[in-house]
Amino acid sequence: MTKTETTELQRIQPCGTDRDARAPGSLVASFAMVLGLGAGAVWPLHAAANQALAQKYSCVACHQPATKVVGPSWKDIGAKYGDGKGTAAQLAASIKAGSSGKWGAMPMPPQAQVPDADLQLIAQWLLDGAK
């Protein structure tokens, strides 16, 4: 790439945003969503971000990737609700409202403090196997 091409690419940035504040892969994810590729196609780009959300909202206090702690593992949640057995919207609603009896005697407390957009990301990540 020539210096002129590099300079031109550096100059181009989305209107109203700070180029340095954008998350890596977010532009790719945006284009993929516009093209109809859906979250599953770009999910690997955001695996670390989704794990960070699980930590941010303290999901990791009760759930771990492959082992049951207080609640089921992320892997078990994905196996139970993934592969078309549930939708991200259904799982997000269940997380938000909390539940009792789905995984044994220990209830899942409501997570109403988690923004809906983050719940959707977490739910889709779980359905995709938390990878």
Which homologous superfamily is 46-127 in? Cytochrome c-like domain (1.10.760.10)
pLDDT exceeds 60 at position 30: no
pLDDT, one tens digit per residue, over 55-94 is 999 999 999 999 999 999 999 999 999 988 999 999 999 9
Q: Report how far apart, in Å, the C-alpha atoms of 82 and of each of 10, 73, 99 are.
A: 40, 13, 18
Domain boundaries, the chain: 46-127
Cβ-proximal residues to 41 (8 Å cutoff; 6+ apart), any chain: 32
Neighbour count for residue 53 (Cβ, 10 Å): 18
pLDDT score of 24: 46
